[in-house]
A and B are shown apart, each in its own frame.
Chain A
Amino acid sequence: MISAAILLPAVAGAAALFGGKALARFLLKATACAHLALVLYMCVFPQRGGYWLALDGAGLLFLVLASVLFAAAAFYAMGYLDHSAAHREAHVLSPLFGTEPQPVFIAFLLFFLASMSFVCASRHLGLMWVALEATTLASVPLICFHKTPRSLEAAWKYLMICSVGIALALLGNFFLTAAVGAREVPLLYDVLRQNAAKLDPLWLKAAFAVTFIGYGTKMGLAPMHTWLPDAHSEAPSLVSALLSGALLNCAFLSMMRVNAVCAAAGLGAFSAKVFLAFGLLSVVVAAALMLRQRDYKRLLAYSSVENMGIIAVAAGAGAPYAAMLHAANHSFTKAALFLLSGNILRRFRSKKIEDVKGLAQALPKTSFLWAAGMLAILGMPPFGIFWSKFLTLKALLGSGGYWAAGLLLFMLAAVFAGVAHPVMEMLRPVEGQSAPEPEKAVFLFPALLLGLCTLLLGVFIPAPVEALLKSAAAALGGG
């Protein structure tokens, strides 16, 4: 059953590659729905894992997030691909919209889903590494889909930096093997945790450091984040949504798997410090670059660095529940915002904030959702992000990190002050703006539904969701 969540999109992807355009499009929609249904079924009826694959609370939570985001992106993709195809002739004039055959794009989208599901469901740390590297490989062709010079540069940077990072994480896996030594303990995360006391602490520490750098690169923590703004801003918007909302989580999950072993071995104080330091650094770096940002997609990308930093801080402050809640909130909100940024880009043909004027007149519905999403990501109540940020701060204060809490609060305030103004400026009506164009539902509903999820997490967390978040936190909490 668990393997079906991986095989289904993988097989559909292969079929899409060799089938025609119509088949590929059907497969994308059908697989997205079937995958979501399958994942929700597994939430209701927990599955017994095998040796290689298993789903604990954390794996299940991130699998649900990936699946929901993918479904939203898949439906958005229908409209997106139509638009790309319709604007093929404009390719010569505008390098922004010109495209390769759709089936290839759809196939790699499905492979991407398969590899992300694989990461979430891996029980063996070596296999998890394989899966995470596969996510990079599946997403590279998606980023440079348009084959523009800028997207090629971004994709190459992404491929090289993440591959090197992941290669370091592989070294970390071998260090873990060394920590196990001659004792016959397989690299299964739960078995490792049970036998953590038997592991060699020096090797384990080395393994944690190297995997942290490796997976941290993929997660976008500063100072290893340099690929992230380029890849997120150059990729088609629906791909950016998946990268930011689903892929970064997968890297975080991998990191937390190793962290849980360290915590069980009594190295929790050391690993918590590392998480705190890199988390805070990410927030600071992202805040500094967001304040001067002139490109709205890069703004969203740096906001992802910031939010990954907050998640790392929450993990370091010993608040895994806050980290899980924030990860879920960030996924929904950021994916919605990236999908909307695609609508703005299609209308204004520019990613510069200053080129977007009179958004509220030109695209009234998009602009409403965009404003709400921005308020959500900046941490305004009643959206869920407010609560997860609040819980993170509370945990920091509770663990005596007054300086860290102060710094975090200051940075959040600075980002709010710096970002709210230019974003609202985009909305402000201008004279001479053309009448609103009809906005297609396919470009709005995915973002609307994702936004409602964030709102729901802020207003009232339903009991089953609460249980899932709690079990995810328990699975990664160490001990």
Chain B
Amino acid sequence: MNYFELLAVIVILCDVALCAASRLRAMIRAAAVQGAALGLLAFIKPVTWEIVLLSAATIAIKAVLFPWLLNIAREKSKADEPAPYVGYNFSFAICAAMFGVSVWLSHRLDVATTLMAGAFFTVLAGFFVIVSRKSAFSQAIGYLVLEGGVYAFGMAMPNEAPALVELGLLLDVFMAVFIMGIMVYHISREFEHADMAKIAFLSDLEDYD
């Protein structure tokens, strides 16, 4: 098992940890470890100064800055993580099923590397977290993980994407996370919690105020 296989396995394990985590803190930690692994994965490409920059920026944003911001927001809001729509044990089962689908998908597309399966799995896991968790914090983490999966897919592809696009992409992710952070802050200040299941005023059919 080479170095990149190991990183791919770490990425996969972080997804599992994320799906099964009940505490926000554990989710943030899983996402941070995954971010660091993704950053190191950039070296799978021929090493140029752009790749070094990309790797450093990815680690800085995903493994350091974002977990740090989220932890501050989490402590500030002191809100408990609400019970998810899908229970933790069942989440675990779904997680296993998603992994099966990812492996099948990567075989189907003739690029059956661990990293490719891991990339699909990460996209699915991120998506699952977004739809199954109620708090705005978890949903933001889900987005970050989903985006990490797409990034991993890019790394698994044999050809190179232009560095300018990669960096633009990273900038977008950075801004997205930044804006999500601000939104989470406003939401938890306005409502004194971040449970999006309880924040549902907008509807077509029901009467409102």
- Say if A and B assemble together: yes
- Cβ contact of A149, chosen from B130, B136, B172, B190, cutoff 8 A: B190
Q: Are the C-beta atoms of B202 and A230 separated by less than 8 Å?
A: yes
Any A CB within 8 A of the CB of B56: no
Which A residues are CB-close (under 8 A) to B46?
Answer: none
How many whole Å from A93's CB to the nearest CB in chain B? Answer: 14
Q: Are the C-beta atoms of B157 and A229 separated by less than 8 Å?
A: no
Q: Are the C-beta atoms of B204 and A181 separated by less than 8 Å?
A: no
Q: Are the C-beta atoms of A137 and B183 separated by less than 8 Å?
A: no
Which A residues are CB-close (under 8 A) to B204?
Answer: 229, 289, 292-293, 298
Q: Are the C-beta atoms of A130 and B199 separated by less than 8 Å?
A: no
Which A residues are CB-close (under 8 A) to B157?
Answer: 174, 177-178
Which B residues are CB-close (under 8 A) to A129?
Answer: 165, 169
Taken together as a complex, chains A and B put the C-alpha atoms of A136 and B153 apart, in Å, by: 23
Which A residues are CB-close (under 8 A) to B200?
Answer: 153
Any B CB within 8 A of the CB of A163: yes
Which A residues are CB-close (under 8 A) to B146?
Answer: 164, 167
For the complex of A and B, 9 pairs with smallest distance between CB atoms:
A126-B165, A130-B168, A133-B172, A230-B202, A137-B175, A170-B150, A150-B201, A153-B199, A174-B153
Any B CB within 8 A of the CB of A52: yes
Between A149, A160, A293, A298, the greatest number of chain B beta carbons within 10 A of the residue's beta carbon is seen for A160
Which B residues are CB-close (under 8 A) to A182?
Answer: 158-159
- Cβ contact of B169, chosen from A157, A170, A171, A234, cutoff 8 A: A170
Taken together as a complex, chains A and B put the C-alpha atoms of A52 and B167 apart, in Å, by: 14
Which B residues are CB-close (under 8 A) to A289?
Answer: 204
Contact-residue bracket for chain A:
35 or more
Q: A124-B162, A164-B143, A177-B161 given as contacts; is B154 within 8 A of A152 (CB)?
A: no
Any A CB within 8 A of the CB of B93: no
Interface residues of B (CB under 8 A from A): 109, 111, 123, 127, 130, 136, 139, 143, 146-147, 150, 153-154, 157-159, 161-162, 164-165, 168-169, 171-172, 175-176, 179-180, 182-183, 186-187, 190-191, 196, 199-202, 204-205
Q: Are the C-beta atoms of B165 and A147 separated by less than 8 Å?
A: no
How many whole Å from A173's CB to the nearest CB in chain B? Answer: 8
Further 14 A-B residue pairs, CB within 8 A, beyond A126-B165, A152-B187: A124-B162, A136-B176, A137-B172, A150-B202, A159-B179, A160-B139, A167-B150, A171-B123, A174-B150, A174-B154, A177-B157, A182-B159, A229-B202, A233-B202
- Cβ contact of B143, chosen from A140, A150, A160, A298, cutoff 8 A: A160
How many whole Å from B147's CB to the nearest CB in chain A? Answer: 5
Q: Are the C-beta atoms of B202 and A154 separated by less than 8 Å?
A: yes
Q: Are the C-beta atoms of A180 and B123 separated by less than 8 Å?
A: no
Taken together as a complex, chains A and B put the C-alpha atoms of A234 and B202 apart, in Å, by: 9
- Cβ contact of A152, chosen from B127, B153, B159, B186, cutoff 8 A: B186
Q: Are the C-beta atoms of B183 and A167 separated by less than 8 Å?
A: no
Any B CB within 8 A of the CB of A144: yes
> Which residue on A lies nearest to B127, using beta carbons?
A164
Taken together as a complex, chains A and B put the C-alpha atoms of A336 and B162 apart, in Å, by: 41
Which B residues are CB-close (under 8 A) to A274?
Answer: none
Which B residues are CB-close (under 8 A) to A298?
Answer: 204
How many whole Å from A3's CB to the nearest CB in chain B? Answer: 14
Q: A147-B190, A153-B201, A159-B180 given as contacts; is B172 within 8 A of A171 (CB)?
A: no
Any B CB within 8 A of the CB of A155: yes
Q: A149-B201, A167-B150 given as contacts; is B161 within 8 A of A126 (CB)?
A: yes
Any B CB within 8 A of the CB of A266: no
Which A residues are CB-close (under 8 A) to B109?
Answer: 178, 203
Taken together as a complex, chains A and B put the C-alpha atoms of A298 and B199 apart, in Å, by: 19
Q: Are the C-beta atoms of A130 and B159 separated by less than 8 Å?
A: no
Q: Are the C-beta atoms of A152 and B179 separated by less than 8 Å?
A: no
Any B CB within 8 A of the CB of A127: yes
> Which residue on A lies nearest to B156, using beta carbons?
A174
How many whole Å from B108's CB to the nearest CB in chain A? Answer: 10
Which B residues are CB-close (under 8 A) to A133?
Answer: 172, 176
Which B residues are CB-close (under 8 A) to A155?
Answer: 183
Any B CB within 8 A of the CB of A156: yes
How many whole Å from A154's CB to the nearest CB in chain B? Answer: 6
Q: A164-B130, A177-B159 given as contacts; is B150 within 8 A of A171 (CB)?
A: yes
> Which residue on A lies nearest to B136, using beta carbons?
A156
Taken together as a complex, chains A and B put the C-alpha atoms of A390 and B96 apart, in Å, by: 52
Which A residues are CB-close (under 8 A) to B190?
Answer: 147, 149, 152
> Which residue on A lies nearest to B171, using beta carbons?
A130
How many whole Å from B97's CB to the nearest CB in chain A? Answer: 20
